[in-house]
Each structure stands twice: as structure tokens, then as C-alpha cells.
């Protein structure tokens, strides 16, 4: 119709026909839109109606473009965003999207959620000064020849550093072939002795994370098992007092099938006490988290070494995973705090050990240079003595010659020549 000759299109008859056609279009378009909007489920037509109304409010864009942009945004197109009046704040669990002050139903795709600790650094990359406190299991002992005495420390350290947290293990002992191998653990010690060692090791180092694995030797030595929880609590309370910025990880002790000490039944009595203490600490809001070492996904009898008491390497790796999850929980609860500054303790234990090696080399170099200086000073003193001796000899010789010349002159006076 638009291409009709100008004379024909300007005729009254043609103008009347075109006007009638435009009127029909105006009548049928709203009807078609209503049919499209109200077809389908309640959620579908509601979303279409909202998109249609948004398009009308915008005014500057065609309605179909507004609807398409909304669908593209829901589909996750990063280049398309809704208008300023409909910026998505968050997605609720009941499928309600909050847009400013107005709610509409449906899902809006957002950035995927990452649980803190598994892919992100804990506490924004907070350096962790860790004390592994306990007995032989903490030391990583096992009669298995493949055990390297790094125990759960090496795999735990690797997990933490891999997500961006510097780690420095601290303690008065060193064991294992890992570089950062500081520890506070002694074989065969029960809980009250571990407490005594902590009193010597915690104040000078002030760790902000303490991994407590205590109680096995109480069971093997059958030390007042019904009141075990009192000794354990005394240890935990001391740690929180001695290092106020610390977070404590407590854990159930491992199973045992050893028949020499017959501690298996005591283990079944001690672990419930530790679990109940964990609930008490949680109720009190203390910075203490719990790692369950037993259970279906925990350490089993087959994960123990030939002695039936200490884990093999796979068992120690399972312990590290359990402790790592507990530390992640501590971060989620906001427990982790910066460690108190202690001169000489670095954020990274490997770097600290490198500094120690450099310091040892520096001291050795200083000693060697000192020995060289001492030897040189001794040679100088010897030379000075020899020179003084030679000079004294020369002066004595000169004096002697002068005296002999004087005597000769007296005996044979010089004749005056006239």
C-alpha cells in the first residue's frame, strides 16, 4: 500500500480503505497481546505482564526489546543488565527476587557461591600461627616404614597455603622432614602432662590456632577416665587464657585395636566427653571448633599402623582433612584473629627457617671472620714484639759502638795538623 502511486493514494476511496485497515489493526493488536500474555501458567503470564509493563514505563525502547533483555539477563548474559529501577539485590531461598523495594517471582542468575576456605583464603588470607599440641599421634609417629613423622601437619599446611593463607607451625620441638616442622608434642604423655608442656610453649609463641589431640594416653594408662573431661577442659581454658587471640580445634581421639594396653573401651568413654565439651563451648560462644575423627568417614581400624594405635599416612591425611574443615568452620563463625606480634616469628614458617639458616651461616661467617681477625691480631702482636726486639737490639748496638768509639778517642787523641 505504501508503494501506490501518489495520485491513487490521494484519492478519497483509497484513503478510506487504508483508514479502515489501520482501525482494524488497532483493535486486533491488544487482543493478540492479551492472548499471548495470558497463555501458559500463572508464573509465565505474570512474568510476561511485568516485562510488558516495564517496557511501557521505559518508553524509549520497544516492548519486545525490553522483554528480550530481561530474558537475556536471566539466562546469564553478562553484557545485558536490567534497568536501574530493577537492579537485582539478591536471590532469596523462596525463589523471590528482591528488586529495590518491589518483589517479583522467579530466579535471577548471580555469581556462583563459593564456600570460604575451600576456594578462597580464610579470613582474607590471614597468616596462621599454628601449634600442634598433643602426644605421639600429633608427632606423626607410626611403626610403618613409610611414615615420615610429618603426620597431619604437612597435608594440612599444604591445604591452607594452597588457598592463600601463610602458615607457621610453632613449638619447642622439631620433628619430621618438612621444613616448617615445629611442634609441641611428646610420645606417651597424658592430658595433664600436655597441659604442663603448653604452659611452657604457648606464652613465648602466642599461636592464633591450636590443634589439640589429647586423651589417647589417658586411655592407654587408664587415668581416671570418668573425670577426663575436667582435665581436658582445664587445658582448653588455659590455651584461651594464655593466647587470647587463639582459636582452638579439638577432636575426638582415634580408635585402637591394641591389646597390650587395652585402651579401646576407655576410648569409647572419652570421646563422648569430648563431644559434649564441644557442645558446651559452642553454647558459651567460645572460639572452639570440633573435628570428628571417627564415624563413617573418619579413621577406621584399617587406617591404623601395625601397632594398632597410630595412623598410617592415609590416616594422617584424613586427620588433616577433618581439621581443615574445622578451621573453615572457625572462619565462617568469625573466630580467626591475627596472631599477636612476637619478635622473630614470621608469618611463613618456611621463610622463617630460611632466615634461621641464613642466621646460622651469618654467625658461622662472623665466627670465621673473628677467628681470622684474632689470628691476624696475634700475628701483628708477634710482629710488633719482634720489631721492638730488633729496634732495641739496634739501639743497644749503636750505644755500644758509640761507647767503643769514645774509648778509642780517649786513648788515641786526634792530632792537630798545623
| Total tally of structural domains belonging to the chain | 2
If asked whether residues 92 and 131 sit together in one domain, one would say: no
Report if residue 76 sits inside a domain: yes
Look at residue 173 and give its three-state secondary structure. Answer: strand
Query: What would the grid cell of residue 371 be?
Result: 677467628
Task: Give the pLDDT score at 393.
Answer: 87
Report if residue 20 sits inside a domain: yes
Task: Give the pLDDT score at 21.
Answer: 56
Q: Final residue of a domain: which of 45, 78, 105?
A: 105
Report in angstroms the alpha-carbon separations of 17 from 2, 10, 11, 25, 76. 13, 12, 10, 13, 47
If asked whether residues 37 and 128 sit together in one domain, one would say: no
**SS3 string of 285-336?**
CCCEEEECCCCCCCCCHHHECCCCCCECHHHHHHHHHHHHHHHHHHHHCCCC
If asked whether residues 140 and 274 sit together in one domain, one would say: yes
If asked whether residues 262 and 180 sit together in one domain, one would say: yes
If asked whether residues 94 and 152 sit together in one domain, one would say: no
**SS3 string of 346-370?**
CCCHHHHHHHHHHHHHHHHHHHHHH
Task: Give the pLDDT score at 72.
Answer: 41
Q: What is the CATH number of the domain that holds 308?
A: 3.40.50.1110
Q: Final residue of a domain: which of 73, 105, 137?
A: 105
How far apart, in whole angstroms, are the C-alpha atoms of residue 226 and residue 268? 11
Task: Give the pLDDT score at 23.
Answer: 58
344: left (phi over 0), alpha (psi -120 to 50) or beta: left
How far apart, in whole angstroms, are the C-alpha atoms of residue 384 and residue 33? 115
If asked whether residues 205 and 232 sit together in one domain, one would say: yes
Tell whether the torsion through CA atoms of 311, 314, 316 and 321 is positive or negative. Answer: negative
Report if residue 367 sits inside a domain: no
Report if residue 206 sits inside a domain: yes
Tell whether the torsion through CA atoms of 155, 139, 269 and 201 is positive or negative. Answer: negative
If asked whether residues 157 and 95 sit together in one domain, one would say: no
Neighbours of 186 (CB within 10 A): 17
Task: Give the pLDDT score at 244.
Answer: 96
> What distance lies between CA 324 and its chain's CA centroid?
9
Task: Give the pLDDT score at 7.
Answer: 46
If asked whether residues 147 and 246 sit together in one domain, one would say: yes
If asked whether residues 294 and 164 sit together in one domain, one would say: yes
Task: Give the pLDDT score at 88.
Answer: 33
**Splitting the chain (418 residues) into consecutive groups of 10 residues, what average pLDDT does each group show?**
47 54 59 57 51 48 44 38 36 40 45 62 95 96 84 96 96 95 97 98 98 97 97 98 97 93 94 98 97 91 92 94 96 95 92 75 74 87 89 86 73 57
Task: Give the pLDDT score at 143.
Answer: 86
Tell whether the torsion through CA atoms of 145, 149, 151 and 156 is positive or negative. Answer: negative
Residue numbers of the domain that contains 99:
6-105
If asked whether residues 162 and 230 sit together in one domain, one would say: yes
Task: Give the pLDDT score at 267.
Answer: 96
Task: Give the pLDDT score at 31.
Answer: 64
Query: What would the grid cell of residue 153 be?
Result: 601437619
Query: What is the pTM (predicted TM-score) of this model?
Result: 0.61
Look at residue 168 and give its three-state secondary structure. Answer: strand
Residue-by-residue DSSP string for 126-156: --EEEEEEESHHHHT--SSTT--S-TTHHHH
How far apart, in whole angstroms, are the C-alpha atoms of residue 202 and residue 184? 9
Q: Final residue of a domain: which of 337, 354, 371?
A: 354
If asked whether residues 285 and 172 sit together in one domain, one would say: yes
Amino acid at each position: 500500500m505504501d508503494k501506490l502511486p501518489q495520485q491513487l493514494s490521494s484519492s478519497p476511496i483509497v484513503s478510506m480503505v487504508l483508514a479502515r485497515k489501520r482501525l482494524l489493526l488497532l483493535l486486533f493488536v491488544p487482543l493478540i497481546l492479551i492472548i499471548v500474555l495470558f497463555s501458559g501458567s500463572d508464573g509465565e503470564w505474570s512474568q510476561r505482564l511485568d516485562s510488558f509493563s516495564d517496557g511501557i514505563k521505559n518508553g524509549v525502547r520497544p516492548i519486545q526489546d525490553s522483554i528480550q533483555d530481561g530474558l537475556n539477563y536471566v539466562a546469564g548474559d553478562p553484557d545485558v543488565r536490567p534497568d536501574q529501577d530493577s537492579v537485582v539485590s539478591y536471590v532469596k531461598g523462596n525463589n523471590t527476587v528482591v528488586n529495590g523495594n518491589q518483589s517479583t517471582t522467579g530466579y535471577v542468575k548471580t555469581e556462583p557461591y563459593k564456600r570460604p576456605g575451600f576456594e578462597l583464603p580464610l579470613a582474607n588470607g590471614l597468616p596462621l600461627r599454628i601449634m600442634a599440641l598433643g602426644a605421639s599421634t600429633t608427632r606423626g609417629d607410626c611403626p610403618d616404614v613409610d611414615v615420615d613423622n610429618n603426620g597431619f601437619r604437612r597435608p594440612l599446611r599444604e591445604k591452607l597455603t594452597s588457598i592463600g593463607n601463610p602458615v607457621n607451625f610453632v613449638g619447642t620441638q622439631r620433628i619430621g622432614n618438612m621444613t616448617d616442622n615445629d611442634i609441641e608434642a611428646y610420645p606417651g604423655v597424658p592430658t595433664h602432662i600436655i597441659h604442663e608442656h603448653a604452659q611452657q610453649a604457648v606464652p613465648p609463641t602466642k599461636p592464633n590456632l591450636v590443634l589439640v589431640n589429647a586423651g589417647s594416653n589417658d586411655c592407654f594408662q587408664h587415668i581416671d577416665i570418668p573425670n577426663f573431661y575436667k582435665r581436658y577442659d582445664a587445658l582448653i581454658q588455659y590455651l584461651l587464657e594464655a593466647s587470647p587471640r587463639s582459636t582452638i580445634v579439638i577432636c575426638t581421639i582415634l580408635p585402637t585395636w591394641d591389646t597390650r594396653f587395652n585402651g579401646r573401651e576407655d576410648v569409647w568413654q572419652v570421646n563422648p566427653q569430648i563431644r559434649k565439651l564441644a557442645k558446651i563451648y559452642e553454647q558459651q560462644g567460645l572460639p572452639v571448633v570440633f573435628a570428628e575423627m571417627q564415624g563413617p568417614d573418619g579413621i577406621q581400624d584399617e587406617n591404623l599402623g601395625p601397632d594398632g594405635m597410630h595412623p598410617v599416612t592415609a590416616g594422617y591425611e584424613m586427620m588433616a582433612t577433618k581439621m581443615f574443615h574445622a578451621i573453615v568452620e572457625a572462619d565462617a563463625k568469625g573466630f580467626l584473629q591475627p596472631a599477636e606480634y612476637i619478635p622473630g616469628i614470621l608469618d611463613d614458617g618456611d621463610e622463617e627457617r630460611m632466615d634461621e639458616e641464613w642466621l646460622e651461616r651469618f654467625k658461622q661467617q662472623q665466627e670465621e671472620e673473628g677467628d681470622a681477625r684474632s689470628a691476624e691480631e696475634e700475628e701483628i702482636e708477634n710482629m710488633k714484639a719482634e720489631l721492638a726486639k730488633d729496634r732495641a737490639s739496634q739501639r743497644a748496638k749503636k750505644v755500644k759502638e758509640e761507647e767503643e768509639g769514645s774509648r778509642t778517642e780517649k786513648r788515641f787523641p786526634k792530632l792537630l795538623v798545623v
